[in-house]
Amino acid sequence: MRIELENRLINLARGISELCKDLENSFIAYHLTKQIIRSSTSAALNYGEAQAAESKKDFAHKIGILLKELRETQISLRLLKNSVRDNEIELHHNLENECAQLVAIFHKTVITTRKNIKH
């Protein structure tokens, strides 16, 4: 499961990078492209950091940061929707779905981890 999640986060970042190559040339697309690449790659990198956590509390903190980055990525995808060219609509839709699934997974992970720390 750990490797699968890591691969999904990496593939999300790769897919977003691919999508951003072909966006329309506008100020908003340029601005959001830089931001979404940072947030999506940060989510993948923070997952690696969480795997090396020194405690349950440290793990919960790092997964919480990962979740924030995924949520930022999710909103950026929504903002970019109007900048996506016709040939990339399916990719955009798939990335939105994958990001939503990952947000749900890591939201549950944060809740479960925090609950386990209290016990």
For the segment 78-108, what is each residue's pLDDT rounded down to a tens digit? Answer: 999 988 989 999 999 999 999 999 999 999 9
Residue bearing tokens 């949520």: 71
How many domains does the structure of the chain reveal?
Answer: 1
Domain of residue 49 covers 2-118
Residue 119 has pLDDT above 70, yes or no: no
Where helices occur in the chain by DSSP H, the ranges are 2-21, 27-51, 56-80, 89-118
Torsion of CA 42, 43, 44, 50, to 10 degrees: 110
pLDDT at 67 over 80: yes
Identify whether the C-beta of residue 20 lies closer than 8 Å to the C-beta of residue 62: no
Q: What is the pTM of this model?
A: 0.93
pLDDT digits (tens, 9 = 90+) for 30-63: 999 999 999 999 999 999 999 999 999 999 999 9
- If one compares 25 and 17, the residue with the highest pLDDT of the two is 17
Residue 38, domain CATH: 1.20.1440.60
Q: Is the distance from CB of 73 to CB of 92 less than 8 angstroms? A: no
C-beta of residue 98 within 8 angstroms of C-beta of residue 15: yes
21: Cβ contacts below 8 Å, ≥ 6 apart: none
Task: Give the pLDDT confidence score for residue 1 in this predicted structure.
Answer: 82
Which residues have CB under 8 Å from 59's CB, separation 6+? 50, 53, 113
